[in-house]
Amino acid sequence: MWRRDYFNQTTTWKKNVYIGHRKYLLRHHPYRLQKKNFDGKQEHGNPPHPLSGEAIYFKLKEMIFSCGKKCGKNNNEGGNDYSKRRSNFFELPYWKNLHVRHCLDVMHIEKNVCMNIVGTLLDIPGKSKDGMNSRLDLVEMNIRPELAPMVTGNRTYIPAACYTLSREEKYRFCKTLSEIKVPEGYSSNIRSLLSLDDLKLNGLKSHGCHVLMQQLLPIAIRSILPKNVRYTISRLCFFFNAICAKSFSVSELDALQEDIVMTLCNLEKYFPPSLFIIMVHLVVHLVREVKLCGHVYLWWMYPFERYMKVLKSFVRNRNRPEGCIAEAQVYEEAVQFCSDFLSGLDPIGLGSLNSRKDKQTDRSLSAGTYVRPDMQ
């Protein structure tokens, strides 16, 4: 649930950008008084307080939501609507009492942050957040006049920013990633996704972005960017590395929250506002999510995505994919159940009998815990 006064709307792209991260700083932090480095205004506001489930429920309880789309132009300027519809989950008696109703998707947040930064550094068409429209937004906001487009004759030039890479630097960035050797099965083959001729990185999956963001990106940029930009991106990578760790100290979470707020404020200083889409803004809420839900690896999307690959392999008739998945799942569970009553046999696909006694691996989410029935 977002309030409209916590984000601005770019005038050229007509997209919502979330650039108000100075509200999360301490009251007397020097960044709050700076104008030119940010959005041209001093920041004296307080961070938004997250609404509880009961507060959201009572705000949406008496509202009437109409189905379909309205005709005419969509006026985003007026109103302070919290939502366009009421979730059906609020009909459950316990739903409004939950502190966390939907966990943040760390996997896709990390992927979007990675692709936005890499796409902007390499200036990949369609993925870069820097361009003519973003520079015109800076002119409209009356900030960073040194980055305004320059008109010379019939041509318009875009000045280089602190994050702009030359062709040689882009080549060194791609060359570094292509020459990095990792253990087998550690990550996807990034070298096959790189083009040293076009200097592009395309087709990177979620786990590839996970490895790139946490391990490889600080290595690739250590000699091609200014120190302040390189330091900011590296701190962002270290933040994802810290919250995705299998063990951490609860006493360090508050310091981690202060660090990510400072990192996002530094990103606002160096990168254009168009970089800060909703997925980038959600990074500031990850520490609160960790405090409420525990370790990230227990509730992120990787296990479900892997199991979805198994379910998709059950599809034989593309005209009826749901039926194929349902029937194959029933057959698999039935065979697995019947195999428990066959003594001395090793069912195909379930591993050896000894390995199934000692180790529970590669089991579906609905399989539960393996229990061998008593034959006597």
Work out the average pLDDT over 71-88.
Answer: 61
Average per-residue pLDDT for the chain: 84
Q: What is the pLDDT of residues 225-268, one digit of tens each?
A: 999 999 999 999 999 999 999 988 889 999 999 999 999 999 99
pLDDT at 80 over 70: no
- Minimal CA–CA distance to 362: which of 340, 342, 339, 336? 336
Confirm if 106 and 300 have CB atoms less than 8 A apart: yes
Q: Which of 84-93, 129-138, 154-163, 167-176 has the lowest mean pLDDT?
A: 84-93
Confidence bin at 355 (pLDDT 50/70/90): low
Residues 6+ apart with CB under 8 A from 211: 182, 186, 187, 188
pLDDT in tens, 88-113: 898 899 999 998 998 999 999 999 99
* Domain spans, the chain: 106-297, 302-358
State the Cα–Cα distance between residues 159 and 138, nearest whole angstrom: 13
Alpha helices in 142-249 (DSSP H): 167-179, 190-193, 206-211, 217-220, 227-243
Beta-strand runs (E) in the chain: 8-9, 16-17, 150-152, 155-157, 194-195, 200-201
**Which pLDDT tens digit goes with each residue over 286-317?**
999 999 999 999 999 999 999 999 999 999 99
Type of residue at 183: P
At 5 the pLDDT is: 43
Residue 12 has pLDDT above 90, yes or no: no
pLDDT of residue 4: 39
203-223 pLDDT, tens digit per residue, is 889 999 999 999 999 999 988
Binning the chain into helix, strand and coil, the percentages to the nearest 5 are 50, 5, 45
**Residue 2 pLDDT > 60:** no
pLDDT (mean) for 145-165: 91
User: What is the rounded end-to-end Cα distance, in angstroms, of the chain?
Assistant: 58
Please say whether the beta carbons of 275 and 129 come within 8 A: yes
What are the C-alpha distances in Å from 140 to residues 55, 105, 148, 194, 217?
37, 33, 10, 36, 33
